[in-house]
Amino acid sequence: MKRMSSLSASRDTIWLKLARLNWGLFLLICVVTSIGLLSLYSAAGGNMSPWAIRQLMRFIFSIGVMLFIALVDIKWWFRLSYLAFAGGVFLLIVVEVMGHVGMGAQRWINLGFMKLQPSELMKIAVVMALARFYALKTTEETRRLWMLIPPLAIILLPVSLVLLQPDLGTSLMIVMAGASVIFLAGVPLWIFVTAGVLTVLAIPIAWQFMHSYQKQRVLTFLNPESDPLGAGYHITQSKIALGSGGIEGKGFLQGTQSRLNFLPEKQTDFIFTLWAEEWGLVGGIFLLLVLGAIFVYGLYVALTCRHVYGRLLAMGLIVNFSLYVFINIGMVMGLMPVVGAPLPLVSYGGTSMLSAMIGFGLVMSCSIHRDSKMQSG
């Protein structure tokens, strides 16, 4: 009888948690992913294969992962934060030893059914580890200068491994996501101002250590017309596609830049351009509004969470998501250098989809268990 009542209570708890799930956020995630699927269908010339069908299967699988993470008590993710970080570092080391090489970089682990990119998962793990670290610190401890040593180690260790791949773009994303958590934890503003000044002063030195293709990306960003058929081809075609879409767009499956294969990487980094060409300014603004609503949902979860770990975790993850959106769209519009940042939930990519859904699962877990009494306060 006790076992039956225990099982019944467990079922009741699961149903109660499902009732508290952010179904509005879930709906917005489905809308953005549907836009991605439509774009991938169009990128293949009106065919589900090869991209749309694979992305759909990944999304269905990732929904299960997200719901599982959301329903697990946030206390477990608090306890597993450092273990997740250690696992991410281990996978980055595996990449260096036996990683799959593609497009001139060694960034993936070939699992057979998919190619796993550990650096994508590392961004989640860094936020989790930093959130746990600061959750156990008082305001006075957080403001001490020497207390920055462990957080900087948490950030710089994976960054150094990612730079070896090499992947400057992802390294910068890890730094920015980690810095956002440190800032939100209450570290004094003068430290960030000082770090910013030192970073600017170090640019000439860093330039000497950059790979030739990385230097070329910066030079192309500053003057894309200098080599419109070479290094500047990507951004030039992207601007043409964006402009040709006009206000209402050319119509679904009618984008000439993508259909005639002028638009490069249309299924991954430049997928927003494909969408904007077919659906115009109206479609582009609609997608931005939905992505903005996701940010607002994440911000609301962070502000309503009653424990420090949940607040920092939710805010760090939603900032990481928003950074990708900002950088990808800024990149395809020519406002930022081309760094290979996918548009979350829209661009084709297995690890990108999985990491985004893991992040949303953690945000939802923070929401469902917002009132949990944790050691972190």
Amino acid at 115: K
Name residue, tokens 């991938």.
40
Give the pLDDT score at 214: 65
pLDDT at 99: 66
Nearest CA to 314 among 127, 188, 81? Answer: 127
Q: What is the mean pLDDT of residues 228-247?
A: 75
CA geometry: angle 57, 63, 69, nearest 5 deg: 140
String of DSSP letters for 172-194: HHHHHHHHHHHHHTT--HHHHHH
Does the bond joining 188 to the residue before it have cis omega, within 30 degrees of 0? no
Q: What is the pLDDT of residue 103?
A: 55
DSSP 8-class letter at 228: T
Report percent pLDDT > 90 for the chain.
Answer: 40
Give the mean model confidence (pLDDT) for residues 30-56: 92
The answer to whether residue 12 sits within a structural domain is no
Dump pLDDT digits (tens) for 91-139: 999 888 876 665 556 677 777 667 788 888 999 999 999 999 999 888 8
What phi and psi values does residue 145 have, to the nearest 5 degrees? -65, -40
Of 148-162, 228-242, 253-267, which one has max mean pLDDT?
148-162
pLDDT in the model for residue 8:
45
Residue 43 counted as domain residue: yes
- 171-190 tens-digit pLDDT: 888 998 899 999 988 888 88
In a domain, 48, yes or no: yes
Q: For the chain, how many structural domains are there in total? A: 1
**Contact (CB, 8 A) for 274 and 60:** no
How many Å apart are CA 188 and CA 147, to the nearest integer? 12
Average pLDDT, the chain: 84
| Average of per-residue pLDDT across 327-335 | 86
Would you tell me the crossing angle of helices 118-135 and 149-163 to the nearest 10 degrees? 180
Q: Is residue 1 part of a domain?
A: no
Q: What is the pLDDT of residue 36?
A: 94
Distance CA 373, CA 315 (A): 19
What is the model's pLDDT at position 226? Answer: 58
- For the segment 79-91, the average pLDDT, to the nearest whole number, is 94
Instruction: Say if residue 252's pLDDT is above 90.
Output: no
pLDDT value of residue 202 = 77
- The one-letter code for the residue type at 217 is R
For residue 88, the model assigns a pLDDT of 92
CB distance 345 to 32 below 8 Å: yes
Q: What percentage of the chain carries pLDDT values higher than 70?
A: 85
Query: So what's the pLDDT on residue 375?
Result: 55
Question: What's the domain range around 121?
Answer: 22-368
Residue 334 lies in a domain: yes
Q: Has residue 136 been placed in a domain? A: yes
**In a domain? residue 238:** yes
pLDDT higher at 236 or 303: 303
pLDDT of residue 87: 94
Q: Say if 61 falls within a structural domain.
A: yes
- 81-95 mean pLDDT: 93
Residue 299 CB burial class (10 angstroms; 0-12, 13-18, ≥19):
middle
Lowest mean pLDDT among 2-16, 158-172, 214-228, 302-316: 2-16
Give every CB contact of residue 142 below 8 A, 6+ residues apart in sequence: 134, 185, 186, 187
